Amino acid sequence: MSEHSSTRSVHAGEERRKPYGALTSPIVQTSTYTFEDTDAVLDFMARKAERTSAREAGGDLELRDEYGRYSNPTQQAAERKLAALEGGEGAVLFGSGMAAITTALLALLSAGDHAIVVRNCYRRTREFADKFLPRWGAETTSVAIDDLAGLAAAIRPNTRLIFVETPTNPHLRIIDLEAVAALARPRGILTMVDSTFATPLNLQPLALGLDLVVHSATKYLAGHNDLLAGVVIGPHRLVTEIEYARGMLGAVLGPHDAYLLLRGLKTLALRVQRQNENGMRVARFLEGHPAVARVYYPGLPSHPDHEIACRQMAGFGGVVSFELVGDKERTSRFVDALRIPYIGPTLGGVESIVQQQALFISLDMAEREASGVSDTLVRYALGIEDADDLIADLAQALDAV
């Protein structure tokens, strides 16, 4: 039976009948899983070999757990739910979004390989590509998100991977994923997208031809600002490689955080719907205010990628970035005058979070300018509060400065 995303958010990935008749999936708090006797060990090892062969062929087999660094039943339930939400064959959870990105890149790239990374992606991802991957002999080329011709020109015979992000932080640029897939797939190049800002509710990259999707599950997927997690989702043949690397590098997600992630995912559809609505209403309000110089929100016709966003997204998200008329000091006074949002560097939770983003990048003016983030830019990550209250708060803060 075909199910809607809200139903999958609640039920997918979890056993219908859980231990002890519990309604929620249990937290399996153990580092080690024991075996009844030697025959059980031998049977497990044979099944393990079968599973590896099945996954390499694009399938999968159920396998009991062995050791907590490799898997955990609570973690696996969250992985199955996330795979179902994205339409992937499998998912691998990590202790943070960066652990997911870095482990996937290390698993997929070898010495002599070349990767293309969009310049507009999260700055820590860019730093890893620019500063760390070359230590292991992998080269990277940076290309602007709106330069598909430049992306095509950057492809080399040894290009193994194209890494993109959409929407980007903080200007919410959108890349045409079908166009990226059309460039990569005929050449046998893997594609990977950081879809954290979009969520599986607003964007389905795998259906558009991408190979892998990564999320900082800390953000919208968990939704309550109370855990760190990351996930990579895709076909078994690639997920298996990344899962093997996770077991080797040890960046596993613990069972308590997996449980909290499962709990948060059950309300994902409700939360994202409200955040989409808040995003659109706040963006329209800000665009019409004389104290606001520019608004960045893909749901607005003024956004440079509005047409692409309308074509490939079901909603435009809960982050609105905007530049104020004035200078750095006036922008700081505006942020301090807001009464509802907290000041901080995250997004995607039920509470609204605001930041004058340049100040979180560097205190050095030259470094801030090099980042492309102006001193007057505010990134507002909207929570699930009432839109009327959020707009009233914005209005009073704008009036106050």
Question: Residue 133 gets which letter from DSSP?
Answer: G
Nearest to 336 by CA among 252, 381, 401, 251: 401
| Catalytic annotation present for 156 | no
Q: Count of CB atoms within 10 A of residue 131's CB?
A: 10
- CATH number of the domain where residue 222 is located: 3.40.640.10
Residue 191 and residue 115 share a domain = yes
Shared domain for 293 and 330, answered yes or no, is yes
Cα–Cα dist 68/219, whole Å: 24
What's 389's domain CATH number? 3.90.1150.10
SS3 20: helix
Is residue 73 classed as helix, strand or coil in its secondary structure? helix
Out of 194, 211, 257, 375, pick the active-site residue: 194
Structure tokens at 394: 């914005």
C-alpha–C-alpha distance, residues 169 and 318, integer Å: 12
Question: What pTM was computed for the model?
Answer: 0.93
Check residue 58 and give its pLDDT. Answer: 67
**How many domains are contained in the chain?**
2
Residue 341: inside a domain, yes or no? yes
308 and 207 both lie in a single domain: no
Q: Which of 126, 219, 271, 274 does the annotation list as catalytic? A: 219
Q: Is 219 a catalytic residue?
A: yes
- Are 381 and 340 within 8 A, CB to CB? no
Pair 260, 281 in one domain: no
Q: Which of 18, 47, 51, 69 is catalytic?
A: 69
Shared domain for 248 and 281, answered yes or no, is no
Mean pLDDT of the chain: 94
* Mean pLDDT within 310-326: 98
Q: Are residues 333 and 378 in the same domain?
A: yes
Residue 46's pLDDT band (boundaries 50, 70, 90)? Answer: very high
Asked if pLDDT for residue 21 goes beyond 90, the answer is no
Does 324 share its domain with 229? no
Residue 360 has pLDDT above 90, yes or no: no
User: Is residue 46 domain-resident?
Assistant: no
Catalytic residue status for 122: yes
- Residue 295 in tokens: 């608004």
pLDDT average, residue stretch 163-170: 97
The CA-atom distances, in angstroms, between 99 and each of 111, 141, 144, 254, 316 are: 20, 21, 24, 13, 26
- Determine the pLDDT at residue 330: 97
Please check whether residues 327 and 223 belong to one and the same domain.
Answer: no
Residues 293 and 197 in one domain: no
Query: Is residue 81 among the annotated active site residues?
Result: no
pLDDT at 1: 43
Both tokens assigned to 120: 């507009």
Residue 176 structure tokens = 């045409």
Could you count the other beta carbons within 10 Å of the beta carbon of residue 46?
A: 10
| pLDDT band per the 50, 70, 90 thresholds, residue 23 | confident
Catalytic residue among 122, 220, 296, 297: 122
Same domain, residue pair 243 and 275: no
> What is the predicted pLDDT for the residue at 52?
73
Q: Has residue 205 got a pLDDT over 60? A: yes
Query: What is the residue range of 102's domain?
Result: 5-32+67-265
